[in-house]
Amino acid sequence: MNDRPSPATSIGVVAAGDTEPGADGDRSRGGERPANAAGTDRSAGAVADAVAAIEGAGGVAETGRPDTVVAATPDAIVAVGESACCGLVAAGVAAPVLPVEVGGVASVARADVPTAAERLVAGDYRVREHPVVRASSRGIDGRAWMDVTLTTAETASISEYAVRSPLPSAARTRATTDDGGPSDRADPDGGDDPAGSPEEFVVRVRADGVVAATPIGSRGYARAAGGPVIVPGSGVGAVVPIAPFATDTESWVLPLDELVLSVERDGVPVEVLADDRPLGTVEPGTAVRLAPDGALELALVPESRPAGAQ
């Protein structure tokens, strides 16, 4: 956690409804509920309160879509809703972001937006970094702070996916126990694939898809798919199959330094998503590489409530 920054003069404000087309609500896969009319009104009210507080404290408010606000290079940004945070990450945000009503992270309640916005102008906040990963392949390029998913474009269609990690410290964790939660048992052999080397973890799984989640993202869709919750700052993520074609389901805890996901079997098109945002489709045998790409700095104020308390 970094020291208190200098007072700010320009503060951006982004709400869930300001994100890209098709993302007018928060993630329906397992994060937050999709926005309805009441949620949209709530976001608009939070934006209005933030703008009034920023200008009342002597700051300049920059509003609009994430890419527009990021391009304005504000000193800090208020993000109302999870998809607003995701949109900012996709746009390459570098400024600290104050999350409002975002699950899984320390976040500000709607009623506390005016006070929290004033603190941003005064520089009365600290920041905590959360890792961001970049997914890249032929025709694919995108950033995510929660998860990257490969999934069949057609419902209930099974493909074969491969997960590779080049680091010898990779470990495999079995994700099913008698009570349905993750266990701590690890397989030290480095995977099932005889083609794997001591420096490479390789595993193949037949499933509807596979999701690779950061520690923050491990509490959302990956968790709903049966994966473990990862402690922030651990440097590892959760890789979880989606609806696997097996009764004995496994997930894997792997370093975030570099992961490679690919679809191995011919079949229906496979879509790549970063924080639920479509990046495109890939052909069988095409590697989608995940690598660290900086961090999202979340602003913390006295009004920030711990993750899970929202």
DSSP character at residue 111: G
- Write down the pLDDT at residue 69: 98
**Residue 177 pLDDT class (50, 70, 90 cuts):** very low
| pLDDT band, residue 93 (cuts 50/70/90) | very high
Residue partners of 163: CB distance under 8 A and separation at least 6: 201, 202, 203, 204, 205, 210, 212, 239, 252, 254, 259, 260, 261
**Percentages of the chain per state (helix, strand, coil), in multiples of 5:** 20, 35, 45
Q: What is the pLDDT, as a whole number, of residue 173? A: 46
| Confidence at residue 159, expressed as pLDDT on a 0 to 100 scale | 86
Q: Residue range 102-123: average pLDDT? A: 95
Same domain, yes or no: 112 and 213: no
Give the bridge partners for 204, in sequence order.
162
- Residue of 296, 276, 291, 271 lying closest to 140 (CA atoms): 271
Region of residue 183 (left: phi > 0; alpha: psi -120 to 50; beta: else): beta
Measured CA to CA, the distance from residue 138 to residue 277 in angstroms comes to 17
Q: Per-residue pLDDT averaged across 162-180, rounded? A: 54
- Helices 37-56 and 113-122: crossing angle, nearest 10°? 40
pLDDT at residue 299 above 70?
A: yes
Question: What is the rounded CA–CA span in Å between residue 136 and residue 201?
Answer: 20
* DSSP-based three-state secondary structure for 226: coil
Instruction: Say if residue 110 is in the same domain as residue 175.
Output: no
Residues 39 and 116 in one domain: yes
Instruction: State whether 270 and 223 are in the same domain.
Output: yes
Predicted pLDDT at 19: 60
Residues 97 and 42 in one domain: yes
| pLDDT, tens only, 147-161 | 999 998 776 577 889
The CATH number that applies at residue 205 is 2.60.200.30
The pLDDT of residue 257: 83
Does residue 142 lie in a domain region? no
Residue 119 has pLDDT above 50, yes or no: yes
Domain span at residue 103? Answer: 10-132+295-300
Spatial separation of the C-alpha atoms in residues 242 and 40, rounded to whole Å: 30
Q: Tell me, yes or no, if the pTM score tops 0.85.
A: no
Residues 6+ apart with CB under 8 A from 35: 16, 17, 24, 25, 26, 43, 81
Task: Look at 186 and 199; give whichever has higher pLDDT.
Answer: 199
Tell whether 97 and 171 lie within a shared domain: no
Q: Are residues 250 and 156 part of one domain?
A: yes
Q: Does residue 141 or residue 231 have the better pLDDT?
A: 141
Please give the tally of structural domains in the chain: 2
Residue 278 has pLDDT above 70, yes or no: yes
pLDDT at 20: 54
- pLDDT, one tens digit per residue, over 43-53 is 888 999 999 99
> Is residue 281 included in any domain, yes or no?
no
Q: In the predicted model, what is the mean pLDDT of the chain?
A: 82
Same domain, yes or no: 30 and 115: yes
Same structural domain for residues 85 and 45? yes
307 band by pLDDT with thresholds 50, 70 and 90: confident
pLDDT tens across 15-26, in order? 986 665 444 444
**Lowest-pLDDT range of 160-174, 177-191, 290-304:** 177-191
The rounded distance, in Å, linking the Cα atoms of 56 and 300 is 21
- Of residues 257 and 6, more confidence is placed in 257
Indicate whether 5 belongs to any domain: no
Nearest to 90 by CA among 41, 39, 22: 22
